[in-house]
Amino acid sequence: MAEKKHVKSVTIPVSTFENVMKQFDQAAVRLHVDPSLMEFLKYPARSTIVKLPVRMDDGTYKMFTGYRVQHSIVRGPAKGGIRFHPDVDLDEVQALAAWMTWKCAVVNIPFGGGKGGIACDPSSMSKDELERLTRRYTAALFDMFGPDSDIPAPDVNTNEQTMAWFMDTYSMHARHTVTSVITGKPLVMGGSLGRKEATGAGVVITTREALRHLNIDPAKATASVQGFGNVGSISAMFLQKLSVKVTHVSDVFGGLHNPDGIDIMALMEYVKEHKKIVGFPGAEAYDRNEILYADVDILVPAALENQITEENAGDIKAKIIAEGANGPVTPEADAILQKNGVFVIPDILCNAGGVTVSYFEWVQNRLGYFWTEEDVNVRLERIMTDAFAAILKVALENDVHMRLAAFMVAIQRVADVVQLRGIYA
C-alpha cells in the first residue's frame, strides 16, 4: 500500500490575530479579572500603516507597505521584531505583537509587546534596495521608536545588517548615537554575546525540561525540525548537543532524512555555502510537506504560523511539540493535540529565549557595560527554566495544557500591573 501523503490545506483563510484572540479568551475565562479590564488587555494600543516610496536600482520608485503595532506598553517599552516578507499584513503583525506581550510576561522581563514588518520580497531585491527600504521605514516611524518606547529586533528575512541600518538611521534623526533603540545588532555596534543562539537555545532548554517531565531520555529521543533558518538550525544544533538524534529537517526548498541522525554542524556549513539544505550528502532527500508527520519524539516547527491545523493535527506522531516559530499551531489543532496526549511547549514560552537575550542586550546598552557569553547563558538558563517550572506548575494545578497555563500566567501578570497603575481616561 502506498504511503499516505499529507497536504497542509486550510479551507478558509486563517486569521492569525483571531487565533491569538481565541487563545486569550480561553485563558481569560479562568482568571478572576474584571471583563472590562480584559478588553483593555486584549487589543493593540496602537497600529500604524505607512506607505514607503523606495528608489530601486534601475532609478524607478516602488511603493511598499510597512506596519508597526504596539500591543501593550503597560509593563515597559514595546518589544518585537521587524520582518520582511511578501505576506506581511496588519492581521499578522497585530497577532505577533500580542504574542510578544504575553511572551515578555511569561519570562517576566519588563517589556510590552510590539511587532513590525514590510510587505516585500527581499529575495528579489538588492542589498542597496533593502538598505533604502529599511532606512525609509525607520524614518517614517521615527516617532514610535525609542529605547523607552519601542525597541525592534530582527525577525523573518532581517538580520544584524538590517538592524545596523536601522540604528544608524534612527541615530541620525536623533542627532546622537542610540545603541539601545534596537537589539540583535552586530557585536561591534553594541550587540550581545549569545544573542544569535538565544532563541534556539531557549527552545532546547524548554525541550530538555519537557523530556525530564515526561521521563524521556534525550539520548534515546529523535527529533524533526521544520525550518532551517536561524531558529531551526540552532535548535537542531543544541538538540544534537543534548544527545537527541535529529533525523529530519526541512527548509523552503526541500527536506532531508537520515535515520541514524543528521550531522547538524556539517549541514550548517553546507547551508552557508549553498544557501539551502537540498543536496546535502549526509542525508536522503525527503518531502518537506511530510516533515511535520515524521515518527519522532520531538517536533520543532520553526517556520511560519498556522502549520498545524485541525485538518492535519491528528496525523502528528511526535510526543513533544516545541514551538520554535510563532503561532505554528492553531487553537483548533491544540484541542486535537491535547486529546492525543501531545505535550506542546507553547511559543510564548518555548521561543522566548530570543527576547530574553534582547532584554540583556538592551540592559547592557543602557549600562554601557557588557557581559561575557557565559554570563548571558547562565542568566538565560535561569530565566527559561524558572519560566518553564512556573507554567508547568499552573498547568498541573489547574489540569490544563501548557499553552493555556502560559496565557493564564502572562495575562495575570499584565493585569496586575494595570490594576496597580490604573487606566488613564
Domain boundary among 154, 179, 204: 179
The predicted model gives 287-313 an average pLDDT of 94
What CATH number did the domain enclosing 49 receive? 3.40.50.10860
Q: Is 1's pLDDT higher than 80? A: no
Residues in the chain: 425
Q: Give the pLDDT of residue 33.
A: 80
Q: Are 178 and 170 in contact (CB under 8 A)?
A: yes
Confidence of residue 305 (pLDDT cuts 50, 70, 90): confident
Q: What is the spatial distance between Cα 341 and Cα 396, in angstroms, rounded to a whole number?
A: 14
Q: Which single residue is written with the C-alpha cell 529530519?
A: 248
What is the band of 150 on the pLDDT scale with cuts at 50, 70, 90? very high
Mean pLDDT, rounded, for 58-84: 97
Q: Does residue 342 share a domain with residue 206? A: yes
Higher-pLDDT residue of 11, 40: 40
Q: Residue 49 falls within a domain, yes or no?
A: yes
Q: Is pLDDT at 10 greater than 80 in this prediction?
A: no
Same domain, 141 and 267: no
55 pLDDT higher than 90: yes
Considering only 2-6, 332-336, 392-396, which range has the smallest mean pLDDT?
2-6
Within 10 angstroms of residue 43's Cβ, the number of other Cβ atoms is 14
In this predicted structure, the answer to whether residue 8 has a pLDDT above a threshold of 70 is no
Residues pairing with 223 in the sheet: 246, 298
Residues 345 and 305 both lie in one domain: yes
Q: Are residues 73 and 217 in the same domain?
A: no
Q: Which residues are catalytic?
A: 115
The pairing of beta strand 82-85 with beta strand 320-322: unpaired
Q: What is residue 35's predicted lDDT score, i.e. its pLDDT? A: 86
pLDDT band at residue 103 using 50, 70 and 90 as cut-offs: very high
More confident residue, 140 or 28: 140
134 & 48 share domain: yes
Q: Cα–Cα distance between 343 and 208 in angstroms, integer?
A: 13
**Residues above pLDDT 90, as percent of the chain:** 89
Of 324, 350, 376, the domain-final residue: 350
pLDDT attached to residue 6? 58
* pLDDT (mean) for 131-135: 98
How buried is 260 (Cβ within 10 angstroms: 0-12 exposed, 13-18 middle, 19+ buried)? exposed
Residue 159 reports pLDDT greater than 90: yes
Is pLDDT above 60 for 227? yes
Structural domain includes residue 172: yes
What cell numbers appear for 190 in the block? 553594541
Answer with the residue of higher pLDDT: 409 or 22.
409
Query: In this structure, what CATH number is given to the domain that contains residue 231?
Result: 3.40.50.720
2-11, 157-166, 285-294, 344-353: range with lowest mean pLDDT: 2-11
Amino acid letter at 390? A
Average pLDDT over residues 80-97: 95
Predicted structure pTM score: 0.92
As a whole number of angstroms, the distance between CA 131 and CA 126 comes to 9
Cα separation of 396 and 385, whole Å? Answer: 16
End-to-end CA distance of the chain: 66
In a domain, 63, yes or no: yes
- DSSP code, position 308: B
Residue found under cell 531558529 = 231
Can you give the pLDDT at residue 319? Answer: 98
pLDDT at residue 4 in the model: 53
Residue 323 lies in a domain: yes
Helix (H) or strand (E) segment spanning residue 89: none
Here the cell at position 332 is 483548533
The whole-number average pLDDT for the span 343-351 is: 97
| Whole-angstrom distance, CA of residue 68 vs CA of residue 50 | 9
**For the chain, percent helix, then strand, then coil, each to nearest 5?**
50, 15, 35
Let me know whether 285 and 344 are in one domain: yes
With respect to residue 110, please indicate whether it lies within any of the assigned structural domains. yes
Q: Which domain holds residue 162?
A: 44-179
State the DSSP H helix or E strand holding residue 366, giving kind and residue range, or none if neither.
helix 353-367
Q: Are residues 247 and 284 in the same domain?
A: yes
Examine residue 70 and state whether it is found in any structural domain, yes or no: yes
Whether 208 and 293 share a structural domain: yes
Tell whether 73 and 154 lie within a shared domain.
Answer: yes
- Mean pLDDT computed over 398-408: 96
Whether 226 and 107 map to the same domain: the answer is: no
Is residue 153, in this structure, part of any structural domain at all?
yes
Please check whether residues 49 and 132 belong to one and the same domain. Answer: yes
Q: Are 140 and 131 in contact (CB under 8 A)?
A: no
Give how many domains the chain has, as a whole number: 2
Residues 267-281: pLDDT tens digits? 999 999 999 999 999
Do residues 201 and 170 share a domain? no
With respect to residue 14, please indicate whether it lies within any of the assigned structural domains. Answer: no
pLDDT at residue 140 tops 70: yes
Q: Over the chain, what is the mean pLDDT?
A: 94
Query: Region 152-165: what's the mean pLDDT?
Result: 95
Q: Is the pLDDT of residue 12 over 60?
A: no
Indicate the pLDDT class of residue 2, thresholds 50, 70 and 90.
Answer: very low
Looking at residue 304, what is its pLDDT? Answer: 82
The residue from 315, 350, 385 where one domain ends is 350
